[in-house]
Amino acid sequence: MSKNGLAKTPSKSMFYDAMGIAAVKTIEERLLAATPVGNGTIGSGIVKGILGFATGKLGKGSKLTNIAATAFVVDCAEDIVNGVIGMLKGANSSSTDVWA
């Protein structure tokens, strides 16, 4: 590990963790997009952040719950960034394509 806590080079374990995070993020994003939570907004980011922190706390540090919690928090950050970009562009805040 380097001084900042990150591995100096990617490992096989890191690759598997990243694949797990991507899989959970893809599934939860599609499931929640079909609900009032939505996707790509500041509000959906806040909900996903709460879900991520709750998953991490309730899971008590198991590998699977850490992966799920990380997926929720990554999606939270993505939604908040997209929501802010949409606001700055003056776009409809419910739009999921802020780059259009």
* Whole-number Å distance between alpha carbons of 17 and 24: 11
Residue 65 lies in a domain: yes
- Cα-trace Rg, the chain: 15
pLDDT at position 72 over 50 = yes
pLDDT at position 9 over 80 = no
Residue 98 lies in a domain: no
Residue 26 lies in a domain: yes
Specify the pLDDT at position 5.
Answer: 61
The pTM of the full predicted model, rounded to 2 decimals, is 0.80
Q: Are 1 and 7 in contact (CB under 8 A)?
A: yes
Domain span at residue 50 reads 12-89
Residue 99 lies in a domain: no
Residue 95 lies in a domain: no
Residue 1 lies in a domain: no
Calculate the CA 82 to chain-centre distance: 12
Tokens representing residue 60 in the block? 């008590």
| pLDDT tens sequence across 14-65 | 899 999 999 999 999 999 999 999 898 999 999 999 999 999 999 888 899 9
Specify the pLDDT at position 93.
Answer: 47
Q: How many domains does the chain have?
A: 1
